[in-house]
Amino acid sequence: MIQKPPGVEDIFPDRIDRWNHITDAARQAFRLHNFREIIIPIMEYTEVFARGLGDETDIVSKEMFTFEDRGGRSLTLRPEGTASVVRAFVENGEYNRLSLNKFFYMGPMFRAERPQRGRLRQFNQFGAEVFGSEDPYYDYEVIAMMDSVTKMTGIEDYELLINSIGCPRCREEYLAKLRDYYHDREEQLCKDCRQRLNKNTLRLLDCKVESCREIRSGAPLITDYLDDECREHHEKLKKYLTTNNIAFREDPFLVRGLDYYIRTTFEFVADRLGGQNAFAAGGRYDQLVEHFDGKHTPAVGFAAGIERMFLLIEEKEILPRGIDAFVIHTGGETLARALEITSSLRKAGLAADLDPNGKTFKGQFKRAERDRAHYCIIIGEDELKNDTCTLKDQASGIQITITLKELMEKMQA
């Protein structure tokens, strides 16, 4: 028997309702916030991620699925979406002429990580990116959008962490202080952190090893080094969140594992997930477009891990979405009428179904129940003769007889 490789998953129909519960909520939030979908390639030239994410990041240095095509060019399965969206944005003249763009995407990402609960090699993200504004309103908007998706899916036990890691100008002084602090404690650091010390100092704050965590607790805080503009940006974001009742906690050590961030970083975390506790994360990346040879375009975005959100709603009862109406008939002419009604309902944008071979009322009512129909529309001989139908509200059991014209009006109301 051939088995799947480690760190990839099959999602069978019994889990699909739960899966769609998450992606439907995301799509709804994207629509409500006026984000438009972009479909980006699954593979890119390796350069896209090396340049975009930073050579020293864990993702680029050890987690990419990279291979050569037949012409000897290096390709990589996308480990995330942001670098690809930026590459596409710069490459496409039409969109980068617009002053503001709000994109969203969904799909599989690939990282050669050690598989464990909530950490896969092929996982799915939905994400959003806003191009063209420095305004902290947009930092707020992407956070608020993810917050609304989280609430829509029914996840309650989570926390939003935010931070500002400043801009390269104010970060320089901070990094020098941080390096001094850690150099003084080099002996006590784990092996990885000793390497990070000179290469990627900020990532020292991200280490999960207990002894490094302890050292971190006394480390200088980036928020004490922000220049006036970065501080003001951060304050405005917090004000937007507070005014709009979005609870958050400031975490001055939230630096994230990607090099492109500037100013805002944030994570949605849930303790229930264990070690891999972030189910969504993002931040601002005002210099990435220029890094890809585009004109200066500030940007901010986030991505959520669908499988991690899936774990958080695993125990919830998610009922499949029902149809609007199931049309019941007694065969012959009543079937022809039932077909007409079903097709009119579908044309009007309502989900409707019938059983063309339905023999008994009982059997058809059973189907309606299974399909979680909101209404049953019954066409018997009397209804056929009088151009009426019997409309039964499945929840209350109340039945009324109405004309077909009234039916369409009621169903569309």
102 binds ligand HAM (CB under 6 A): no
- Tally Cβ neighbours within 10 Å of residue 206: 17
Q: How far is the CB of 121 from ligand HAM (least distance, A)?
A: 7
> Between 165 and 345, whose beta carbon lies closer to ligand HAM?
165
Q: How far is the CB of 141 from ligand HAM (least distance, A)?
A: 13
> What is d(CA 272, CA 404) in angstroms, rounded to the nearest whole number?
52
Residue 124, SS3 per DSSP: strand
| Member of 21, 196, 216, 308 binding ligand HAM (CB under 6 A) | 308
Query: Angle at CA 299, nearest 5°, toward 297 and 301?
Result: 160
Q: How far is the CB of 295 from ligand HAM (least distance, A)?
A: 19
Q: Which two tokens stand for residue 348?
A: 């009007």
Determine the interface stretch with ligand HAM among 122-130, 173-181, 343-351, 379-387 (rule: CB under 6 A): 122-130
Instruction: Kindly provide the b/e burial profile for residues 17-54, where b requires at least 16 CB atoms within 10 angstroms of the residue's own CB.
Output: ebbebbbebbbebbeebebeebebeebbebebbbbbbb
| Member of 132, 136, 282, 298 binding ligand HAM (CB under 6 A) | 282
| Member of 113, 159, 192, 371 binding ligand HAM (CB under 6 A) | 113
- Residue pair 394/368 in contact (Cβ under 8 Å)? The answer is yes
Among 62, 129, 70, 132, which Cα is nearest to 97's?
Answer: 132
> What is d(CA 22, CA 27) in angstroms, rounded to the nearest whole number?
9
Beta strands across the sheet bearing 375-378? 352-354, 325-328, 375-378, 388-393, 399-403
> What is d(CA 265, CA 165) in angstroms, rounded to the nearest whole number?
7
> Between 129 and 147, whose beta carbon lies closer to ligand HAM?
129
| Member of 57, 76, 101, 125 binding ligand HAM (CB under 6 A) | 125
What's the DSSP call for residue 268? E
- Residue 238 half-sphere exposure, CB side, CA atoms within 13 Å? 15
| Member of 283, 298, 376, 388 binding ligand HAM (CB under 6 A) | 283
> Between 255 and 384, whose beta carbon lies closer to ligand HAM?
255
129 binds ligand HAM (CB under 6 A): yes
Closest residue to bound ligand HAM by CB? 305
Determine the interface stretch with ligand HAM among 121-129, 175-183, 192-200, 377-385 (rule: CB under 6 A): 121-129
120 binds ligand HAM (CB under 6 A): yes
Q: Looking at this protein, which amino acid is placed at residue 185?
A: R
87 binds ligand HAM (CB under 6 A): no
292 binds ligand HAM (CB under 6 A): no
> Between 82 and 101, whose beta carbon lies closer to ligand HAM?
82
281 binds ligand HAM (CB under 6 A): yes
80 binds ligand HAM (CB under 6 A): yes
Report the interface residues with ligand HAM, using CB under 6 A. Answer: 80-82, 111, 113, 118-120, 123, 125, 127, 129, 278-283, 285, 301-305, 307-308
